[in-house]
Amino acid sequence: MVYLSERGYRTIAHDRRGHGRSGQPWSGNDMDTYADDLSTLIESLDLKNMIMVGHSTGGGEVARYIGRHGTKRVAKTVLLGAVPPIMLKTDANPGGLTMDVFDGIRAGVRADRSQFFKDLTVPFYGANRPGAKVSQGLKDSFWLMGMQGSLKSELDCIKQFSETDFTEDLKKINVPTLIVHGDDDQIVPIADSALLSAKLVQGSVLKVYPGAPHGLASTHQDQFNGDLLAFIKA
């Protein structure tokens, strides 16, 4: 955000309900409400010609926002390491991850989320790969963001990012779209996400970062910032 702001762009980040600095309601921790919350913010600020950038679950929020509210205020979209079309293995999505994977995440978060988030930093940033240089500070920042959220909201969110089918939402994206994904993403495997999304979003541009992890906006910061700026200017 600082990179873009220094180049003259207005940048706005929102914290999903139950996460970060947002409130922590017991209810409404579902993808439709996430999208409607985002719409409320956008309408309140009267934003126009937006470039929406969504990472991971946030990419699902971008897709669902457009699925529910259209693109009248949207100029372009960027899906970064994003979860769409759907992560869960189903009859229609045979390449997805099995439910036991997500049940394991739920169990880990419920039992000891602090340690779970610390452990998760390793595959998230690819720190378990030969030659990886992932600072302790980056790992700590990930842990801190996780601990700021409500436990109830985070448990609910696991179902939302894993089981929500964004196929029809992706088909409604009718603005220029950049899809960026690392081919060594250990959290959201590329074969069942970006490669499929690129086929569903008409006219989208897919950029694959060789060897990049899920958290590539940090590990490949300069490369992603450059690609993002070029896409915005195009």
DSSP string covering 29-48, please?
-SHHHHHHHHHHHHHHHT--
Partners of residue 138 on adjacent β-strands? none
Given this model, what pLDDT does residue 125 score?
A: 98
Residue 173, φ and ψ in degrees, nearest 5: -75, 115
Cα–Cα nearest to 151, from 116, 202, 101? 116
Residue type, 117: F
Mean predicted confidence (pLDDT) in 39-45: 98
Of the residues 193, 214, 220, 227, only one is catalytic, namely 214
**Catalytic annotation present for 56:** yes
The CATH classification number of 2-233 equals 3.40.50.1820
**C-beta separation of 53 from 43 below 8 A:** no
Of the residues 156, 169, 185, 227, only one is catalytic, namely 185
Q: For 167-213, how does the pLDDT look when each residue is reduced to its tens digit (9 = 90+)?
A: 999 999 999 999 999 999 999 999 999 999 999 999 999 999 999 99
Determine what percent of the chain is predicted with pLDDT higher than 90. Answer: 100
The pLDDT-based confidence of 165 (bands split at 50, 70, 90) is very high
Write b or e for each residue in 129-168: b if 16 or more Cβ atoms lie within 10 A of its Cβ, otherwise e: eeeeebeeebbeebbeebeebbeebbbbbbebbbebbbbe
- What is the number of residues in the chain? 234
Residue 52, φ and ψ in degrees, nearest 5: -90, 125
**Catalytic annotation present for 185:** yes
**Catalytic annotation present for 214:** yes
Q: How many angstroms separate the CA atoms of 51 and 49, rounded?
A: 7
Token digits of residue 164: 């929500």
**C-beta separation of 169 from 54 below 8 A:** no
Domain ranges within the chain, ordered by starting residue: 2-233
Mean predicted confidence (pLDDT) in 78-83: 98
The pLDDT-based confidence of 231 (bands split at 50, 70, 90) is very high
Given this model, what pLDDT does residue 112 score?
A: 97
The pLDDT-based confidence of 21 (bands split at 50, 70, 90) is very high
Cα–Cα nearest to 55, from 188, 227, 145, 173? 188
Given this model, what pLDDT does residue 192 score?
A: 94
Q: For 135-151, how does the pLDDT look when each residue is reduced to its tens digit (9 = 90+)?
A: 999 999 999 999 999 99
Of the residues 14, 55, 56, 153, only one is catalytic, namely 56
Q: For 110-134, how does the pLDDT look when each residue is reduced to its tens digit (9 = 90+)?
A: 999 999 999 999 999 999 999 999 9
Give the long-range contacts of residues 53-56, CB within 8 A, separation 24 or more.
Answer: 53/77, 53/78, 53/80, 53/228, 54/78, 54/79, 54/80, 54/82, 55/80, 55/81, 55/82, 55/217, 56/80, 56/81, 56/82, 56/83, 56/161, 56/187, 56/188, 56/214
Given this model, what pLDDT does residue 17 score?
A: 97
Helix and strand counts by DSSP (H, E) for the chain: 10, 4
Please give the helix or strand (H or E) that residue 121 lies within, else none: helix 99-124
Q: For 87-101, how does the pLDDT look when each residue is reduced to its tens digit (9 = 90+)?
A: 999 999 999 999 999
